[in-house]
Amino acid sequence: MTGQPVGVKAFLVARSEARLLVPALMFIALVVAAVASLGAPLITSVATSFHVSLGSAQWTLTIPLLSGAVATPVLGRLGAGPHRRATILVTLAVVVAGSALTVLPLPFAWLLVGRAAQGVGLGLTALMMGVARDHLPEARGAATISLISVVSIIGVGVGYPLAGLLAELGGVRAAYGFGLVVTAVAFLTAWRSMPEAPAGRSAHVDVAGAVVLAVALLLVLSLAGERNLWSRHLAVAAGLAVVAVVLLGVWAVIELRSKAPLVDVRAVRHPAVAGANIAMFVGGIGMYLLLTLITRYAQTPHGAGYGFGLTTFVAGLVLIPFSVLGFVAGKLTPRVRTRIADPLLLAGSAVVVGGGFALFAAARSDLAELFAAMGVLGFGVGGFSAAMPGVILAVTPKSETSSAMSFNYVVRSVGYALGSAIGGLILAAGSGPGRLFPDDSAYTTAALVGIGAMAITTLTSLALARRRSSETNP
C-alpha cells in the first residue's frame, strides 16, 4: 500500500478488521453454545464415572443453563457500557477456567462448579450482537446479528455428536477436554478481534436487581428440572412456584425504580418487544420439547416396543439435520426479510416447527423419519431465531442492543427449561406402573401439546405483524 493516502489506508485496515470481526463473532457464539450443551449427551457417563445418581448428573446440564440465565442480563448491562471488550475477555477467561475444572481429576462438586462457569459464557451471545450492531454497516450488521442468533441455537447440534463420540473413545474427561480446547481458542480469537465500545457509553449494574433475579431464576429452573418434586411433593413445588412469581414481580418493581436498571423494563413493555418475548417463551417451550422428544425416542431400546436403541454418539448424529437446515434458514432469512416483515417470518417459522411436531406424531417408525422431523425443526428454529432480533432491535436504541437481547435470551432459557420439563412430565405420566419407558402414545400426546404451543406462538407473531402494519400504514 506504499504511496496510498492515509485515509485510504485507514479505510482498508477498517474493512479488513470488519472482515475478520464477523467470523470471530460467529465462532465465539458457536463455541459458548456448544460447550454449554456438552452436558446433555454425557449424563449417563457422568453418573457412572463419578458414582452419582442420574438426578445428580442431570445438574451438569441444568447448572450451566441456570448460570447462563443469571449472567446474561448482567453481562448485557456491562456490555452496554465502555468496558465491553474487557467484559468479553474476562467472561471467556471464566469459561476457560471452568473448562479446565471439568477436565481435571477432581470430585463431582468441582465438575458442577466448572459447568456453572462454562454456562456464564451463554451471556456473551447478546454482547456479540451489540458488537455487530456498533461496528458493522447496517445491512451487514443486521445479517450478522441474525446468524449469531441462529448459531447460538445450532451449537447444540455441534456439541451433542462430538461429545458423544469423544465420550465413547476416551471417556467423559475427553469430551470435556474438547470444551477446554475450543474455549481457549475462543479467548484468543476475542483478544485478537474484539474492538472497544464506542465512546460516550456508561453502564452500572443494579446489584439488588441482579440478586433478586438470580434467586427467582434459580427457583424457576430448579422447579423445571426437578420433576420428582412435582410428582412427590406437589404442595411444596406449587409453593416455590408462587415464591418465584412473587420474586419476579419484586424484581420488576426494583427495575422500574432503579436509575440504572439491569433490564429496561419500560422498554421491555413496548408492545413489539413484549410480543416478541412472549413468542420466544412459548416458542422456546415447543422447540426444546420436540428436540428432547426426538433424541430420547432415538435412544429408547427396542425392548420398549418402539425406538431405535441408538448409542449416545449415533443419537447425536440425528441432530445434524437440525444444525445444517437451521444454518441454511439463517442464511436465507436476511434475503427474505427484504420482502417479508420479521413478525411474519416468526409466524411462518412457528408453523414450520409445528409441522415438525405433526411429522413426528404421525410418522416415527423409521429412523429416516426422525431425521426428517429434526430437519424440519432445525429449519423452523433457524428462521425463528434469525427473525427474532429484527423484531426487538427495530424499536431498541443501539446502546441498548446487548441489554435488550440479553433479556430475550433469559426468556428463551426459561422456555427451553420448561419445554424439557413438560416433555419429561408427559412421558412420566405415560409410563405404566413398574415400567422404565413410557408408552409410545405418550410421545404422540407430547407432540400434540407442542403443536398447541406453536399455534400460540404463531398467533402472537401474527398479532405483532398486524400491529406493525397498522403503524406503518395508518
pLDDT given for residue 417 in this prediction? 77
Confidence of residue 11 (pLDDT cuts 50, 70, 90): very low
Lowest mean pLDDT among 38-47, 73-82, 129-138: 38-47
For the packed helices 59-79 and 43-50, what is the interaxial angle rounded to 10 degrees? 120
Residues 443 and 356: their CA atoms lie apart, in Å, by: 13
The residue that leads in pLDDT, 71 or 110, is 110
Contact 76, 65 (CB under 8 A): no
pLDDT in tens, 243-257: 999 998 998 899 888
Q: Is the confidence at residue 1, as pLDDT, over 50?
A: no
pLDDT in tens, 403-434: 788 888 888 888 887 887 788 888 888 887 77
Q: Is the confidence at residue 107, as pLDDT, over 80?
A: yes
pLDDT in tens, 338-355: 888 899 999 999 999 999
Distances (CA, A) of 150 to 1, 278, 308, 400: 38, 19, 29, 20
Distances (CA, A) of 248 to 131, 242, 255, 418: 29, 10, 10, 16
Contact 371, 305 (CB under 8 A): no
Residues 218 and 224: their CA atoms lie apart, in Å, by: 10
The residue that leads in pLDDT, 359 or 81, is 359
Burial status of residue 14 (CB atoms within 10 A of its CB: 0-12, 13-18, 19 or more): exposed
Q: What is the DSSP letter of 409?
A: H
Q: Is the confidence at residue 293, as pLDDT, over 50?
A: yes
Q: Is the confidence at residue 328, as pLDDT, over 80?
A: yes
pTM for the model: 0.82
Distances (CA, A) of 237 to 191, 219, 220, 441, 446: 45, 10, 10, 27, 22
pLDDT given for residue 9 in this prediction? 44
pLDDT given for residue 10 in this prediction? 44
Q: Is the confidence at residue 262, as pLDDT, over 60?
A: yes
For 279-302, b/e burial (b = at least 16 CB within 10 A) is bbbbbbbbbbbbbbbbbbbbbbee
Supply angle C-alpha 436, 60, 46, rounded to 5: 65
Q: Is the confidence at residue 90, as pLDDT, over 50?
A: yes
> What is the chain's mean pLDDT, rounded?
85
pLDDT in tens, 441-458: 999 999 999 999 999 999
